[in-house]
Structure 1
């Protein structure tokens, strides 16, 4: 059952989402060769609690950490380790926070030092597909419209779209209806309505769409060992249109990147 949010609840969800956004921005300055994911995980837990929130993933479904950290061929749900990051790696950092009774949940795939051109292209296309999907998230459109936009863009570049893992509704629970797959047909699936809040999250593989799971019961990898990219935003329908609750601007500020990619999805200016 889809749970519609009031304008007041959406503003509370924005607070939760921005805790995650600020956490990812803090981590952006720390992700570099030689740093390990477990160290970053501890920083994130402390930072989230300092923001008056609780880590959203820690203990959920018995997950042992604050962050899902998935380098290179890991798609999602990676468990942080002491293995140091290396020059040329990429790493998806997926973070959740619970504040005011609502969840924020989004992700960004970071470059570690200088990465290969073909890997940088994968990240670029995957992030582009996220915004193409968000553009379709508006009153009267359907789940399949978002899914098709993501799939069409990524498959044009020869990339594999993970089928088994999807985005989702978001609210007082981390995972609510509807499911938001990254592949599908236009005009299919549940119709979007005012007040719906979702997490849209393309998971895009450089090679095959097929995946496998490690024996730890969590970590998902590409079946062919090629890199995977993962980007995620939290989005509400406000006045019939997509309104970003999360932002990558804290990340960009830390990395010295100038971008206006989010502007069309904000009805009022974000105050950093």
Structure 2
């Protein structure tokens, strides 16, 4: 969507704060021995108490309030009986709606004890997202996001998952401009003032693509390699990006 009025921005910030708080609380709640279903129920309760509705459930009939992906799972992991273990690499993706506005956020993190190579991947994954967000602004090229992230990844020996992209968001979970590459492209489109979009690169130590598993939802890296995702919902302005998915 394109933000044209202050009350639209206020409503977007409100659902952005809700999903950000939910993500933060879920990441803090993780302990070895709990199942991903138990973690998802924490997220569900927080969304419901805030008057928000899970976007993957309401939009796509996803079997969970949030997407929780562990280790070899790169995205869209179904909450279930999988037990979280010490040392696991976990991604939590929270998207929801309230009063007709949608926001989307996500983050990856390690369950202690940490591992240096994966610690570095997490730090650089967050940095890749920040570099992409720095390219968002009214009139700027849409391809600038992926071109900047791609250079950062290549300079550090990483790959990017090239079939999991950023997207427009706001009045629905996925909308115009549909796929926004977080890898180098020649996309000629420009970012318009007020455009609402996500920035969510999937940085990997070797994965190139996401392949769907037998459950019809969970995605795995191909070739198999660790991958992380960090995501914010942002609004393009003349002075850069407003990040709306901040806790508070």
What TM-score results when the alignment is normalised by the length of structure 2? Answer: 0.94
Q: Is the 8 A contact 2:59 2:173 kept in 1?
A: no
Q: Is the 8 A contact 1:90 1:115 kept in 2?
A: no
CA offsets 1:232-255 (integer angstroms, 9 cap, x no match): 0010023442111012xx4xxxxx
CA positional deviation for 1:197? 0.7
Q: Is the 8 A contact 2:125 2:230 kept in 1?
A: yes
**1:238-249 to 2 correspondence within 5 Å?**
238-247=237-246
CA offsets 1:101-124 (integer angstroms, 9 cap, x no match): 010111011211122110111111
Counterpart position of 1:183: 183
More displaced stretch, 71-80 vs 204-213: 204-213
**1:181-260 to 2 correspondence within 5 Å?**
181-185=181-185, 188-247=187-246, 250=247
Determine helix, strand or coil for the equivalent of 2:56: coil
Q: Is the 8 A contact 1:89 1:111 kept in 2?
A: yes
More displaced stretch, 140-149 vs 209-218: 209-218
CA positional deviation for 1:225? 2.7
Counterpart position of 1:16: 15
| Matched pairs, number | 246
Q: Is the 8 A contact 1:193 1:240 kept in 2?
A: no
CA positional deviation for 1:56? 1.5
Mapped partners of 1:25, 1:53: distance in 2: 16
Mapped partners of 2:10, 2:200: distance in 1: 21
CA positional deviation for 1:59? 4.1
Counterpart position of 2:87: 88
**1:102-141 to 2 correspondence within 5 Å?**
102-141=101-140
CA offsets 1:28-86 (integer angstroms, 9 cap, x no match): 22112112110011111111010111111214322111111111121111111212111
Mapped partners of 1:200, 1:62: distance in 2: 24
Q: Identify unmatched segments of 5+ residues in structure 2.
A: none
Distance 1:238 1:210, change over 3 A: closer
Runs of 4+ with deviation above 6 angstroms: none
Aligned residues: CA RMSD: 1.4
Q: Is the 8 A contact 1:194 1:240 kept in 2?
A: no
CA positional deviation for 1:214? 0.4
More displaced stretch, 57-66 vs 17-26: 57-66
Q: Is the 8 A contact 1:69 1:79 kept in 2?
A: yes
Q: Identify unmatched segments of 5+ residues in structure 1.
A: 251-271
Determine helix, strand or coil for the equivalent of 1:18: helix
CA positional deviation for 1:208? 2.8
Determine helix, strand or coil for the equivalent of 1:29: helix
Determine helix, strand or coil for the equivalent of 1:87: coil
Mapped partners of 2:78, 2:215: distance in 1: 9
CA offsets 1:158-192 (integer angstroms, 9 cap, x no match): 21211111110111111011121111247x33101
Determine helix, strand or coil for the equivalent of 1:57: helix
